[in-house]
Amino acid sequence: MVEELIEKYYSDNAPLREILLTHSRSVADMAVAVARKHPELGADEDFLYEAAMLHDIGIFLTDAPGIQCFGTEPYIKHGLLGGELLRKEGLPRHARVAERHTGTGLTRETIEQQHLPLPLGDYSPETVEEQIICYADKFFSKSHLERVRTPEQVLRSLEKFGPEGIARMKTWLLQFGD
């Protein structure tokens, strides 16, 4: 199912498909590793893998030429756009992951304060699977596929989303990390 969906939306852009697959596999591998290391969380490993592979499905609709995205929407909307695609495909749980992985989740207040081009709402990860994928995603960039960020680099990358995002990541580092 994952491969078919990626092929459906990315068949005409092989370079972007490779970026998406490489990034998403890294996120999926880390997410599943977190679940295996912490069985007490009760995370669904099969769902984690699928949702991590699809969490960025909407990037092709955005304007981010540095990673081969030549759409028209602002990049910050890729999660919501991906969520719309996944709902149309009959995957509402996967859609929630896509919508809730930007930063460490975006609150209505953050959207208002930063004047983000998103519908007002709360896009914070709630389920353990949403949280694990959001956490894992922060360690991997689509522009530097060969790198794994350190926890310190992750925290610095979240500064633009405000102090609540940094606090959430610090909690996750304790909960999901080594």
- The DSSP element (H or E) to which 28 belongs, if any, is helix 14-37
Check if CATH label 1.10.10 holds for domain 2-176.
no
Partners of residue 106 on adjacent β-strands: 123
Angle (CA) 82-138-29 rounded to 5° is: 80
Give per-residue burial for 33-57: e unless 16+ CB within 10 Å, then b.
Answer: ebbeeeeeeebeeebbbbbbbbbbb
Q: What is the mean pLDDT of the chain?
A: 96
pLDDT > 70 fraction of the chain, expressed in percent and rounded: 99
Low-confidence residues of the chain: pLDDT under 50: none
Under a CB-based contact definition with an 8 Å cutoff, are residues 53 and 25 in contact?
yes
| pLDDT tens column, 5-19 | 999 999 999 999 999
Predicted TM-score (pTM) of this structure: 0.96
| pLDDT tens column, 52-82 | 999 999 999 999 999 999 999 999 999 999 9
